[in-house]
Amino acid sequence: MLLTSGIPRIAWVDELQRQDLYRRHTDFNKEFLSAHGQALAKYGRHWGQDPFQLWSRRWEYPYVAQRVIEFAETQAADARMRVIDAGSGVTYFPYFLCDKLPKCEVTCVDSDPSYPPMFDAINRNVGHRRVNFMQAMLQKLPLDDGAADAICCISVLEHTSNYGEIIREFARVLRTGGLLVLTFDLSLDGKFELSRDVAGDLLNHVSELFTVDKIDPQQELAAMDKTAEILTTEHVKNTQPDLLPWKYPMVKAVHDLVNGKGWTGGFRSKSIFCVSGRKK
């Protein structure tokens, strides 16, 4: 099943979950959590250990992995594959890539200083060093020009206002023809990150530096109006509310009210956008 770029439709997500492609991710993740639960305990208290218990990740991780694996298959069979997981957190994902791509080496980059001992403990258990961690800010990566073959950035840029600087930095450290795979949250009501206009500007930055594949990003943003068809937090609330991250809605609602967002009930009306492209 080819996972299409743009805003995922509910029907696509439902079909994905019936595929072996999805089961390969969930089975690997289950084994990863079982093997490394102790190392991940602190991370789990903050973000939740299981990425598939977050509403959008069931599409994002398979989408990004598929793009990276397809890209790797177009390269020389004996070529080393240098991947950056930008804003990585600590998840099964880089280890999944290394499992599927024997020549793959993944550098996970995040600003959180608590992550190095978690990666060290996991790597001792795994018994290889093809996944490593680098503490850094995404807008100033301590990497040489053209150092990477591919960059993955999963639901990170909605948390920053300097996405243009970060995208330029991604382009700097990618080699010509290298792959960028990017996902980010969309605010359907415009109250939170990223509104339609801001998302459009972000995608313009991407299109300036990367040849985006298979879709017109600006046209695809129009699907934000098709809320009955696309994957949204409203749909998840009505079908699998345990996948939403807002566990204390009244506290969040009061915070929103104080910050001029009106009464939100602590809920965020969101979808996601997925895009990939090659560095020009």
65-75 pLDDT tens trace: 999 999 999 98
The domain 10-233+271-279 is classified under which CATH number: 3.30.565.10, 3.40.50.10490, 3.40.50.300, 3.40.50.150? 3.40.50.150
Please indicate, yes or no, whether the overall pTM of this predicted structure exceeds 0.85. Answer: yes
- The candidate with the shortest Cα–Cα distance to 123, out of 112, 107, 110, 111, is 107
Per-residue pLDDT tens for 150-195?
999 999 999 988 999 999 999 999 999 999 999 999 999 999 999 9
Secondary structure letter of residue 50 according to DSSP: -
User: How far is 124 from 121, CA to CA, in rounded Å?
Assistant: 5
Segment 209-267, tens digit of pLDDT: 999 988 999 899 999 999 999 999 999 999 999 999 888 888 887 888 888 888 888 89
In what order do the strands lie in the sheet containing 104-110? Answer: 131-135, 104-110, 81-86, 148-154, 174-187, 270-279, 210-212
Joined together, the tokens standing for residue 25 give 């991710």
Q: Which tokens hold the place of 132?
A: 């490593």
Q: What is the pLDDT of residue 89?
A: 95
29-59 residue pLDDT tens:
999 999 998 889 888 677 788 999 999 999 9
DSSP 221: G
C-beta of residue 90 within 8 angstroms of C-beta of residue 123: no
Length of the chain: 280
Backbone angles phi, psi at 89, to 5 degrees: 60, -155
Domain residue extents for the chain: 10-233+271-279
Closest of 272, 277, 69 to residue 187, by C-alpha: 272
Q: For strands 148-154 and 270-279, give the pairing.
A: unpaired
